[in-house]
Amino acid sequence: MCQLLGMNCNVPTDICFSFTGFQARGGATDIHKDGWGIAFFEGKGVRLFLDPLPSASSPVAELVRHYPIRSLNVIAHIRRATQGSVGLENTHPFQRELWGRYWIFAHNGHLPDFQPELNGEFLPVGQTDSERAFCWLLQELRRCFGEQMPDAASLFGCLHELTLDLAGHGQCNYLLSWGESLVAHCSTRLACIERQAPFAEAHLKDQDLSVDFQEVTSPEDRVAVIATTPLTDNETWRILEPGTLCLFQDGCLTREAATLAGPFNPLTGGLAR
């Protein structure tokens, strides 16, 4: 199972603390060794770091861990390959342009029978089902809204309908952002936490590291962190129910919608068929 990490904030914030724990899951505290990547939105631009090496031993990951890039939306991924070779072309997160802005997508799961017809506007470069699903999502968003980008609420409504389709094809945990908001879908496993005043100390599960957020934040700051499993062991994380689509804006979870198209099967991690 791959690992996902996302952050959505109301003021530009660095993700060094969370990424320190997340990085260890790529070959140190977990078995995911098939590459990793992270994307930071900065204004209309995106800093994207990709490496097919395990994140726990990647020099690029070490750079990111010590580089306090401040961003409103961040998406990171640690890969365990199920489709496609280990290489940069198959390393998440993936990036495309739509409506004059960058979109970033990372996926954890398996969509073995998802073979949508793509019209050529967005095409996969690698061989993963994840990139194919991303291209299809963007294609269908353009089909739905044409040349005019809608507001976040309308986008979320369309993404809900599209995710209902994806969820019927297998495991589909994903993070998606266009730089203003972040959408997270829990198909099997995903957790989140919203940090705001009064801030407290947090301690990582995967590394012996703590930070007192009261010392590095202001009372107005709000930060939402989303991960496959909780990153800290002394905070209360919300474990999302399988079949939940969430919209995060300004560091808060603002919308939710159910996406299970049938009864969830805990033995297979998917829908009962």
Residue type, 267: L
The dihedral sign for the CA sequence 28, 173, 113, 271: positive
Residues 198-228, buried b or exposed e (16+ Cβ, 10 A)? ebeebebebbeeebebeeebeeebbbbbbbb
Beta strand pairing call for 252-258 and 244-249:
antiparallel
Q: Is 16 exposed, middle or buried (0-12, 13-18, 19+ CB in 10 A)?
A: middle
Residue given tokens 């495309």 in the structure block: 96
The two tokens of residue 198 are 């009064």
Q: Catalytic pick from 2, 172, 186, 246?
A: 2
Please classify residue 120 by burial: count the beta carbons closer than 10 Å to its beta carbon, then call 0-12 exposed, 13-18 middle and 19+ buried: exposed
Does the active-site annotation cover 9?
no
Mind telling me the catalytic residues? Answer: 2
